[in-house]
Amino acid sequence: MDQLTLREKIFNKLVNYKINFYLRFYSVIDSFFIKNNHAPKNFNQLLFSYIAFGEKYIDALLEFSLPSILQENNIPLLVKNSYKVIVKIYVKSNSEKEKILNHSIYKKLIHFSKVEIIVCLDEKGRFNNDLRYFNFTTYFFRENWLFKHYTLYNSLKFSLDNNTPLFWVSPDDFYSDGSLSNIVELSRSNNEFFIGMHPRVNWNSALNLIKSKFKADPNYTISSRELVQIGIKNLMSVQKQSIEQNDNLGVKGLNIKQINKNTYAVTASRPAPLFGGIIKSDLKFFRKFSHFNYNDYLWPRKLIKDGRAKFICDSDIFFKIELSEELDYEVQKVTNEEIQKNPYGGTSRLLNHKISEVPIFFWKL
């Protein structure tokens, strides 16, 4: 092999210096946008925080969501793996609290976790808690908004103060067996936050189906693959519209494509935060953006910039469904052309919407 001439050696050196300069330059620029997350993992307890009020949501909590988190490989396995589990349930009235206390699922819940049911309204229906943290200069919503935001903020603060990562749970969420223990096992840091995409399902049909299964067998477990089947069969019209057929790409911000008999590939502009730890700047964020809607529209932007966002894309690892009412969502057919001209978010399209569209979420039957 011929040896390089002096001129060739000098040229190669200059090329390497140039490439390394660009790499260092890009690294400095990128550091302004996305930080490194070097936090350790040393937590030993977990928080499940629920907001439930009104007969409809109390029923969903007791018959739908709590049975899911108490499946064999969810909270029971977490406890077996030496995690302490804390469940906080925020309700509006003493009658709602009593209904929870008298339900058969409550005995199972307190066996595996420390449970606190917080009544947020007094006997006259007045909100009786400390409001000094809220940003009333920006929003003027009525009691329900205040109730939701109070419970959200207190959950985040408890998570931060006690080094206790938070499961972002809701009465209308159902988790497959093993999903909760899997996501904790995947966690490698106190303050990273997992993000995923789940289907919205018809409230009545999905709720009645799940209730019938656990009525027949209180110890029944629903695997991720079975739950994906339930999700697809009971998918809301607005998300059914997103299943790609010919030139129709469905609603903005969501595309569902069946790539084989057993797998759906999903891309989404607005996946939801699922589980993780809280840092001080998160509290500042939610004081500034005092609306529950921003937890998945804007907060993931901060998680990405903090280097804390972790996308979980395989339904075999984690999967949930969410009950929804058809009347709350308008079906809008859009073409590929329209999406390209005016993508999700429009003039408020953010960094997290663009980055969230990069990973593909797989729902496996």
Query: Is pLDDT larger for residue 273 or for residue 334?
Result: 273
Contacts by residues 79-83 (CB-CB < 8 Å, ≥ 24 positions apart) = 79/112, 79/113, 81/181, 81/184, 82/44, 83/44, 83/45, 83/46, 83/184
Determine the pLDDT at residue 138. Answer: 44
Residues 24 and 145 placed together within one structural domain of the fold: no
Determine the pLDDT at residue 277. Answer: 96
Question: What confidence tier does 5 reach under pLDDT thresholds 50, 70, 90?
Answer: confident
Determine the pLDDT at residue 187. Answer: 94
Distance separating alpha carbons of residues 356 and 358, to the nearest angstrom: 5
Domain assignment of residue 36, yes or no: no
Residues 23 and 112 placed together within one structural domain of the fold: no
Q: How far is CA 311 from CA 46, 183, 331, 351, in A?
A: 20, 11, 27, 15
Per DSSP, the three-state class of 233 is: helix
Mean pLDDT computed over 68-82: 98
Percent of the chain with pLDDT over 70: 90
The answer to whether 270 and 287 have CB atoms below 8 angstroms apart is no
**pTM for this entry:** 0.90
Mean pLDDT computed over 286-303: 88
Domain assignment of residue 38, yes or no: no
Query: Is pLDDT larger for residue 123 or for residue 107?
Result: 107
CA 70-108-173 angle, to 5 degrees, is: 35
Domain assignment of residue 35, yes or no: no
Q: What is the pLDDT of residues 173-211, one digit of tens each?
A: 999 999 999 999 999 999 999 999 999 999 999 999 999
Domain range spanning residue 350? 45-364
Q: Look at residues 312, 278, 310 and name the one whose alpha carbon lies nearest to residue 179.
A: 312
pLDDT of residue 108 exceeding 90: yes
pLDDT of residue 132 exceeding 80: no
Determine the pLDDT at residue 8. Answer: 83
Q: What is the pLDDT of residues 8-25, one digit of tens each?
A: 888 889 989 999 998 888
Write b or e for each residue in 268-304: b if 16 or more Cβ atoms lie within 10 A of its Cβ, otherwise e. Answer: bbbbbbbbbbbbeebbebbeebbbbebbbbbbbbbbb
Residues 352 and 316 placed together within one structural domain of the fold: yes
Q: How far is CA 230 from CA 47, 170, 233, in A?
A: 27, 19, 5
Residues 2 and 81 placed together within one structural domain of the fold: no
Residues 25 and 50 placed together within one structural domain of the fold: no
Domain assignment of residue 267, yes or no: yes
Distance separating alpha carbons of residues 339 and 248, to the nearest angstrom: 11
How confident is the prediction for the chain on average, in pLDDT?
Answer: 89
Residues 10 and 136 placed together within one structural domain of the fold: no
Residues 332 and 262 placed together within one structural domain of the fold: yes
Tell me the backbone φ, ψ of residue 161, rounded to 5 degrees. Answer: -65, -25
Domain assignment of residue 39, yes or no: no
Residues 75 and 23 placed together within one structural domain of the fold: no
Determine the pLDDT at residue 137. Answer: 42
Mean pLDDT computed over 293-319: 95
Residues 182 and 270 placed together within one structural domain of the fold: yes
Domain assignment of residue 60, yes or no: yes
Residues 51 and 22 placed together within one structural domain of the fold: no
Residues 221 and 298 placed together within one structural domain of the fold: yes
Domain assignment of residue 176, yes or no: yes
Residues 252 and 332 placed together within one structural domain of the fold: yes
Mean pLDDT computed over 272-284: 95
The answer to whether 167 and 89 have CB atoms below 8 angstroms apart is no
User: What is the count of structural domains for the chain?
Assistant: 2
Determine the pLDDT at residue 238. Answer: 79
Domain assignment of residue 20, yes or no: yes
Determine the pLDDT at residue 33. Answer: 78
